[in-house]
Structure 1
Amino acid sequence: MKRVAIFRADLLPISETFVRDQADSLARWQPVLVGRRRVEGGLPTPGIPHEIVPDTPHRVVSALRFWLSLPDPRLVAQLKALHVDLVHTHFGTDATEVWPSVKAAGLPMVVTLHGYDINIHREWWEAGHGGLRKRVYPRRLLQMAREPKVSFIAVSRAVKRRAIDYGIPEDKISTAYIGVDIRRFQPGGLALAKRAKRILFVGRMVEKKAPLLMIRAFAKVRSEVPDAELVMVGDGPLLAEAQQLAGELAVPVSFLGARSWDQVLMQMHEARVFCLPSVTAGNGDAEGLPISLLEAQATGVPVVTSARGGVDEGLQDGKTGIAFKEGAMDDLVVALRRLLCDSAAAARASVEAVQFAASAFDLRNHSRELESVYERLAHAGQH
């Protein structure tokens, strides 16, 4: 059985279940997680071997290696010792840093582009807003894209279009959905029509997820649907501002903070509608294809979203949920009110959502497609 090293510098933030689940669903390839640091209190990865290869503690050596694009001898040795056939790196930002070592190990690499790593404006990185080292990220990403042994996977057609606009050659990019584990995310709890009129929001409290827009829209919904509820799962820099706004608007919002996938699933089993009113942030950051939208539909919860990648790929508008234009407050309020108050329409959307998720986004099916990409790249890398 061939082996793939799945690289993520930080193993693994609790929000990155998609990395773990995709690795765990491989059938023809044996995965091993490789990273620089283990995240304290992070995501457990039972059954998947992992290797931590810390960077040198000598700052000067680390800095010189980075700025000169030199390989890390310890990482090169570890990759060789693992006898892997391919390195799969999540996020372009990690890929540009690990590529010199992967190249020195003589291995091909495929990079999954998820969203922020390709959507954020080049000028934002180059101005140093992402940190000193990230100033060279756009240039190194495009340099890396010219390497014969480097290929890319876009998590949605929207991400692929953006990657092409960025300057990555189209023939080096495959589109491959990650998918959702429909064995885990299944309908449960009360029938949708019998649930409280609860809206569920899951996402980091950051600009592109638009948590403040969500609260303002909820305030308008509450003025017409007094028994409507809003539960917000997620942590981040806008949490305090979101809590303050809810207080100013005098609307009861339940802020649950970050939660594990099983706790999120529990919330989905109690929600009438899932809402992700995403926008394009000022620096260009935007969604790729939020897994949470797929998870909600797999559990039978209709979705309302403006997420890039979600509106034209991640739902069936008018059937499994409702899509609206970014920032269109009135359209968002109308969509939420309809699914909260029209039980028959919500029930129909629930049935359609489960069928859509199972037919279009089954993780196992998409992992077989990913393995085909692995096999093609590993074969090409031998020649």
Structure 2
Amino acid sequence: MPTRKTVLIYRNELLPISETFIKEQILALTEWRAVLVGCRKLKQLALEDLDVRIVEPQNRSLQSRLLWKANKLFGTVPPYIKRALQVEQPSLIHAHFGPDALDAWPIAKALSIPMLVTLHGYDINTYREWWEAGSGGSKMQSYPRRLLELSAQPRVRFIAVSDAIRGRAIEYGIPAEKVAVHYIGIDVNTYTPGPIPITQRPPNVVFVGRLVEKKGCQYLIEAMASVQKAIPTARLIVVGDGPLRPHLERLAQTLGTHVEFRGAQAADYVKRELHAARLLSLPSVTAENGDAEGFGLVLLEAQASGVPVVTSARGGAAEGVLDGVTGHAFPERDVRALAARLTSLLKEDNVLQRMAEQGPIFVSEEFNLSYRARLLEELYDAHAVSPQ
């Protein structure tokens, strides 16, 4: 059996709990060996089952920190890091998120290997003017210019997580021929329908996501105020945390909406909530700075679990849901339309049941992680170099 090629998977911080999808994508690879590379190791997502390399110096002396900063400033890689990664004989580097790609490119250059960059959402949707005004911090003011300079490199290609993201990347100035769409997918053996039939569950609507502007949770709380007038036993379960939580709690109290805020939770907890819910709603919007949902993997997780979805997520609403078959799409910020969709589905058991049955079929056929991983490996094959 031929030796597998090696891809370096790059993310500056390894790995936030919200990025389980990166870990699962790595574990789904069969033809390629993946080495996860980053600057810092977070104590969030368990990485024991992955091959991990930390490139930031573990020696925190003043001299080592100054040397590291100097290398970053000049876009170079310290010799000891180059030697350590050369041992892996990589054929390709795959960076997740645009800002991280800027830090990964010096590594790719030092190793003389091509680079693929996955654009997920904020890294391409956020308005250039927002970055350039320094709203993302002084270090990120040049991000738009540097990203476009990176896109001009012959050995750099981009992956968009949805058609919507690809369109935005082209609009941003990245050459169309350099951007391919690749859906991430989910493990359909992990997300399966629960033991309680959908129509026998209490009328719970679940929201899963960070409590930030682009997730649009406030519109769901406003819609649920109307839903609960028609269906007094309906409840909204919010799984997630973020800077807007105090505001959202006050909003629910003001409107008299029955909302249970559960905070950030692990994947197993989310699965249990899906198995207890009738609907999942992801009412995402375009934030003031342009940031928007790239896709919304929780939509796939819900449908695979036999839970119909109601969403306005850019990308997800058009590509990740069969409107009228596995759920409903609605326009951003349209509280009345959202409330009408939720109320209708909570009342119409026959429609709810049909959607619950179609969801797992749709996800299994289009977004099965093992299938998507094979397609990703084909992209790797197309862009890789032979091992040194």
Deviations 1:128-157 (A, max 9, x none): 111121111111111111111111100000
Instruction: Tell me the TM-score normalized by structure 1.
Output: 0.96
1:155 aligned residue (161, 177, 180): 161
Instruction: Name the residue aligned to 1:221.
Output: 227
**Amino acid in the other structure paired with 1:11:** L
The one of 91, 96, 105 equivalent to 1:85 is 91
SS of 1:177's partner is: coil
CA contact (8 A) 1:77 1:105 kept: no
Q: Matched residues in 2 for 1:189 and 1:219: separation? A: 29
Which is further off, 126-135 or 114-123?
Answer: 126-135
1:53 corresponds to:
55
Could you say which residue in structure 1 is the equivalent of 2:205? 199
Verify the 8 A CA contact 1:73 1:101 in the aligned structure 2.
no
The alignment status of 1:34 with 2:37, answered yes or no, reads yes
1:340 and 2:343 aligned? no
Helix, strand or coil at the partner of 1:16: helix
Q: Using a 3 Å threshold, how does the CA distance of structure 1 residues 309 and 281 change in structure 2: closer, same or farther?
A: same
For structure 2, which runs of at least 5 residues remain unmatched after alignment? none
**Which of 130, 134, 140 is equivalent to 1:134?**
140
Q: Distance in 2 between matches of 1:355 and 1:251?
A: 34
| Equivalent residues in 2 for 1:107-118, closer than 5 Å | 107-118=113-124
| In structure 1, distance between residues paired with 2:387 and 2:28 | 25
User: Residues 21, 354 of structure 1: CA spacing in aligned structure 2 closer, same or farther, 3 A cutoff?
Assistant: same
Shift of 1:33: 0.9
With over 3 angstroms needed to count, the CA separation of the structure-2 counterparts of 1:72 and 1:308, relative to structure 1, is farther
Alpha-carbon offset, residue 173 of structure 1: 1.0
Residues 192-217 of structure 1, C-alpha deviation per residue, up to 9 Å, x if partnerless?
00000000000000000011111111
For the residues of structure 2 that align with 1:65 and 1:102, how far apart are their CA atoms? 14
Cα-Cα RMSD: 1.6
Moved more, 59-68 or 265-274: 59-68
Match of 1:368 in 2: 374
Distance in 1, Cα, partners of 2:335 & 2:37: 43
User: What's the CA shift for 1:75?
Assistant: 3.4
CA distance in 1, matches of 2:262, 2:82: 42
| Aligned counterpart, 1:121 | 127
From the superposition, tell whether residues 122 and 64 of structure 1 become closer, same or farther in structure 2 (CA, over 3 Å). farther
Say if 2:326 is the partner of 1:320: yes
Report the CA distance between 1:224 and its aligned residue. Answer: 1.3
Q: Which amino acid aligns with 1:8?
A: R
Secondary structure at the counterpart of residue 184 of structure 1: coil
Give the structure 2 partner of residue 44 of structure 1.
46
Identity %: 45
Alpha-carbon distance in structure 2 between the residues aligned to 1:243 and 1:336: 21
Report the alpha carbon displacement of residue 60 of structure 1 after superposing the two structures with TM.
Answer: 4.8
**Structure 2 CA distance for aligned equivalents of residues 240 and 68 of structure 1:** 42
Name 2:18's counterpart in structure 1: 15
Q: Structure 1 CA distance, aligned partners of 2:260 and 2:351?
A: 26
Instruction: Report which stretch shifted further, 161-170 or 244-253.
Output: 244-253
Cα distance in 2 between the residues matched to 1:272 and 1:70: 53
- Cα distance in 2 for partners of 1:82, 1:299 equals 39
Would you say 1:2 and 2:5 are equivalent positions?
yes
Deviation by residue 1:102-138 (Cα, 9 ceiling, x = unmatched): 2112111100000110000111111111112111111
Matching residue within 311, 324, 331 for 2:317: 311
| Residues 131 and 233 of structure 1, relative CA distance in 2, 3 Å threshold | same
How far apart in 2 are the matches of 1:43 and 1:382?
30
Structure 1 letter corresponding to 2:270: V
The offset of 1:337, in angstroms, is 0.5
Relative to the length of structure 2, the TM-score reads 0.95
Question: Which deviates more from structure 2 when the two are superposed, residues 160-169 or residues 94-103?
Answer: 94-103
Q: In the alignment, which residue of structure 1 is the partner of 2:103?
A: 97
Give the paired residue count: 381
Corresponding letter in the other structure for 2:54? I
- Match of 1:269, SS state, is helix
Unmatched runs of 5 consecutive residues or more in structure 1 = none
Conserved 8 A contact 2:35-2:50: yes
Q: Is the 8 A contact 2:97 2:123 kept in 1?
A: yes
